């Protein structure tokens, strides 16, 4: 009997054909109310799930007694109850590596956009407001040679450090669970405690995953440590930051600006006070959103899922304890 996979993310024709050659597929194209109802209807027969951007909790997964594997098209796994999946021996896989460089590009786009006020000044030109030479009121601040502070020195943190160190001559400070001698050597980077990094960096960039330990890590106390000319960048997860505290820090110019790709609630509600701020650049969670990278992530997820359903250990298994063969 063919295994049954429920897809809640559309795949390219080539990947869809590959999947359909090996398993039965139900595709839920959109996760609107109708799509969620169809998902619930399909779960009882599902051996595998593949998708992203949906909180898969016990309430939903209890509907899927045959489930063997979940392949997330993301590196972040904060949408999954890993303990629950492990208890049920359901293999959870993710898509690291293939998105590292693209996500670091997004981080750097936000660094440049905030420091050089790209969005604000491009809007001024478009609105016909460029009527004379630009003066100090519209000047930005330099990026090259400034200190880049990275919180969470994983793969994406390293890719950001590489761009900053080799491309922009930036001294690199970092904070993470443990010191990383190889990173220190490669980028001439220096480890700092969190308060030290917040006090010393010109750019404070979050690249760490959302976990119980990192939720709300950056709040009023942390923004108070940052310098008034510093810039805050978040390409990890919105909930790592206390959003009201960030809004206050930006409103009161406790920090100069912020570049955010992730938010407490996504999509960002149109009435969010963040959108009233002229010192904020907001992008719609586009960290890995390029044609090439999203295809590579989907391919990786399909590989992981097919391996798991064939009884093999997926290359990117998240919950190793669920693997019992």
Please give the residue ranges that form the binding site for ligand DGY (CB under 6 A).
52, 74-76, 99, 287-288
Nearer to ligand DGY, 99 or 281 (CB): 99
Q: Which is nearer to ligand DGY, 104 or 189 (CB)?
A: 104
Q: Which of 237, 256, 294, 299 is catalytic?
A: 237
200 vs 288, beta carbon nearer ligand DGY:
288
Annotation says 285 is catalytic: yes
In three-state secondary structure terms, 63 is coil
- Shortest separation between residue 289's beta carbon and ligand DGY, angstroms: 8
Smallest distance, ligand DGY to C-beta of residue 116, A: 25
Sign of CA dihedral 130, 131, 137, 141: positive
Q: Which is nearer to ligand DGY, 99 or 189 (by Cβ)?
A: 99
280-282/172-175 β-pairing:
unpaired
Query: What DSSP string runs through 114-140?
Result: HHTTHHHHHHHHHTT---S---GGG--
Q: Is the peptide bond before 234 cis (omega within 30 degrees of 0)?
A: no
Report d(CA 218, CA 196) in Å as an integer.
14
Q: How far is the CB of 94 from ligand DGY (least distance, A)?
A: 7
Tell me which of 38, 117, 256, 285 is the catalytic residue: 285
Joined together, the tokens standing for residue 103 give 């996500």
Please report how close the Cβ of residue 66 comes to ligand DGY at its closest, in angstroms: 27
Strand partners, 150: 174, 205
Cβ at position 288, least distance to ligand DGY in Å: 5
Write out the DSSP string of 135-203. Answer: -GGG-----TTSPEEEES-SHHHHHHHHIIIIIH---EEEE-SS--HHHHHHHT-EE--HHHHHHH-SE
Task: Tell me the C-alpha distance between 231 and 205, whole Å.
Answer: 8
In whole angstroms, give the CA distance from residue 281 to residue 275: 9
By C-beta, is 98 or 226 nearer to ligand DGY?
98
- Is 117 annotated as catalytic? no
Distance (Å, whole) CA 261 – CA 10: 23
State the catalytic residue, choosing from 29, 215, 265, 266: 266
Q: Among all residues, whose Cβ is closest to ligand DGY?
A: 76
> What residues are annotated to the active site?
237, 266, 285
């Amino acid at each position: 009997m063919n295994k049954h996979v429920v897809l809640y993310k559309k795949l390219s024709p080539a990947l869809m054909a590959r999947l359909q050659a090996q398993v039965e597929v139900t595709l839920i194209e959109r996760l609107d109310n109708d799509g969620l109802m169809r998902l619930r209807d399909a779960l009882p027969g599902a051996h595998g799930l593949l998708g992203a951007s949906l909180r898969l909790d016990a309430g939903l997964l209890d509907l899927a007694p045959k489930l063997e594997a979940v392949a997330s098209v993301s590196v972040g796994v904060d949408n999954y109850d890993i303990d629950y999946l492990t208890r049920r021996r359901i293999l959870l896989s993710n898509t690291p590596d293939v998105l590292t460089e693209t996500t670091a590009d997004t981080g750097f786009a936000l660094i440049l956009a905030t420091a050089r006020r790209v969005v604000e000044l491009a809007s001024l030109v478009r609105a016909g407001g460029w009527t004379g030479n630009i003066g100090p009121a519209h000047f930005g601040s330099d990026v090259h040679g400034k200190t880049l502070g990275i919180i969470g020195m994983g793969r994406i943190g390293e890719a950001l450090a590489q761009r900053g160190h080799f491309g922009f001559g930036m001294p690199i400070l970092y904070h993470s669970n443990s010191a990383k001698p190889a990173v220190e050597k490669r980028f001439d980077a220096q480890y700092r405690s969190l308060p030290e990094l917040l006090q010393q960096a010109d750019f404070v960039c979050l690249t760490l995953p959302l976990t119980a330990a990192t939720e709300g890590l950056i709040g009023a106390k942390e923004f108070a440590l940052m310098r008034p000319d510093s810039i805050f960048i978040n390409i990890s997860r919105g909930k790592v930051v206390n959003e009201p505290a960030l809004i206050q820090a930006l409103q009161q110019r406790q920090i100069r600006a912020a570049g955010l790709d992730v938010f407490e609630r996504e999509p960002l509600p149109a009435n969010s006070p963040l959108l009233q701020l002229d010192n904020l650049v907001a992008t719609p969670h586009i960290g890995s959103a390029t044609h090439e990278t999203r295809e590579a992530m989907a391919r990786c997820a399909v590989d992981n899922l097919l391996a798991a359903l064939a009884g093999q250990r997926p290359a990117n298994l998240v919950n190793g304890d669920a693997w019992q063969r």
